[in-house]
Amino acid sequence: MSLRILRAGPLTTVQDLGRPGLAHLGVGHSGAADRPAHRLANRLVGNPESAATLETTLAGLTLTTDEPAWLVLTGAPAPLTTDVGPIAPGAPTYLPPGATVAVGMPLTGLRSYLAVRGGIVVEPVLGSRSTDVLAHLGPDPLAEGDLLPVGEAPGTWTAPVDHAPQPPIPDEPVLDVFPGPRDDWVTAAALDRLAGTSWEVSADSNRVGVRLAGPRLERAAGELPSEGMVAGAVQVPPDGQPILFLADHPVTGGYPVIGVLSAEALAAAGQLRPGTRCRLRLRRTLDGGAARPGSAGILEP
């Protein structure tokens, strides 16, 4: 079985759960930008959560199947239209061979996940089928005419749910941030601004990171040697405009990281659309004490 791409949209990529454990070799984690949405899509069609899905950006993906298929769309709530009628987000649907599927523009959010029972089985690179747009690993972003193989349906499968409701994507999400490890490299006033500002999402954002626009965060120290980076790192470059690193982040960087997003906030950041706004909320440690530099939590869900 295979899917044929009729239109690819602004950016549609193959994504799974990424390439963990290779940062020491200079290879980032990559994978789905909104992992909870990716995992849910796979569960709804009876796939393992590690199966590869299609991650769309805004709209424009149109494809057709050459055999009967079960499909579902999660993440940003985009309209899904087919030859047999519209499909609600989160509703697994059986399609006959030759059916055409089109993903429309979501009302909120940025990235939707289209899962097909059996998963997308393009050739893996370093153990993953994910496209890393920074490192140029994995398959290229999809283009018109691409043919994507689909794997065998995994084992037995009970009847699917009619619909899996998903939490709405807020107009102005609040993202939890653990301070550190370099929060002492900005002024106290800068930390207050970080948590007290409604930040605008810059158009200069992608799967590598979300750039925020707002008041300048002033440094209390100069530059530092490059050090390791994780997904969710909140980095402050010389212009004082914070960057939230996403799935395809670099593995090292030389600007101070003044905070790290929680796992839930990292998934929410993957849905930030340019032109919308978000807020950052500094969190305390789990024991209730004040967070200290270096106390940031584990990010990768």
What is the extent of the structural domain holding 92?
Answer: 2-149
Report the pLDDT averaged over residues 196-218: 97
pTM over 0.95? The answer is: no
Tell the residue number behind the tokens 């199947």, with chain if given.
65
Same domain, 103 and 210: no
Q: Does residue 301 form part of some domain?
A: no
- 91-130 confidence digits (pLDDT tens): 999 999 999 999 999 999 999 999 999 999 999 999 999 9
Instruction: Give φ, ψ of 117 to 5 degrees.
Output: -60, 125
- Write down the pLDDT at residue 84: 82
Same domain, 76 and 201: no
- Write down the pLDDT at residue 230: 95
pLDDT at 267 over 50: yes
Q: Does residue 106 form part of some domain?
A: yes
Q: Does residue 222 form part of some domain?
A: yes
Strands 277-282 and 174-179: parallel
Task: Calculate what percentage of the chain has a pLDDT beyond 90.
Answer: 81
Q: Which amino acid is at 234?
A: V
Q: Does residue 88 form part of some domain?
A: yes
Q: How confident is the model at residue 300 (pLDDT cuts 50, 70, 90)?
A: very low
Q: Does residue 104 form part of some domain?
A: yes
Q: How confident is the model at residue 214 (pLDDT cuts 50, 70, 90)?
A: very high
pLDDT at 291 over 60: no
Q: How confident is the model at residue 285 (pLDDT cuts 50, 70, 90)?
A: low
Same domain, 8 and 144: yes
Tell the residue number behind the tokens 């032109």, with chain if given.
275
- 146-171 confidence digits (pLDDT tens): 999 999 988 877 767 888 888 899 99
Same domain, 126 and 182: no
Same domain, 77 and 207: no
Same domain, 16 and 99: yes
Same domain, 192 and 116: no
Q: What is the CATH number of the domain that holds 206?
A: 2.40.100.10
- 231-246 confidence digits (pLDDT tens): 999 999 999 999 999 9
Q: Does residue 40 form part of some domain?
A: yes
Same domain, 77 and 129: yes
**What gap in Å lies between CA 198 and CA 172, rounded to an integer?**
8
Q: Which amino acid is at 201?
A: V
Report the pLDDT averaged over residues 200-208: 97
The total of structural domains in the chain comes to: 2
Same domain, 187 and 262: yes
Instruction: Give φ, ψ of 19 to 5 degrees.
Output: -120, 75
Q: Does residue 137 form part of some domain?
A: yes
Mean pLDDT (the chain, rounded): 91
Same domain, 117 and 183: no
Same domain, 192 and 106: no
Neighbouring residues of 192: CB distance < 8 A, sequence distance ≥ 6: none
- Write down the pLDDT at residue 292: 39
Tokens of 127: 């153990």
Q: Does residue 259 form part of some domain?
A: yes
- 59-96 confidence digits (pLDDT tens): 889 999 999 999 999 999 999 999 888 888 899 999 99
Of residues 32, 16, 62, 10, the one with CA closest to residue 203: 10
Q: Report which DSSP code applies to 297.
A: -
Report the pLDDT averaged over residues 246-258: 95
- Write down the pLDDT at residue 222: 74
Buried b (16+ CB within 10 A) or exposed e, 261-284: bbbebbbbbbbbbeebbbebebbe
Same domain, 142 and 188: no
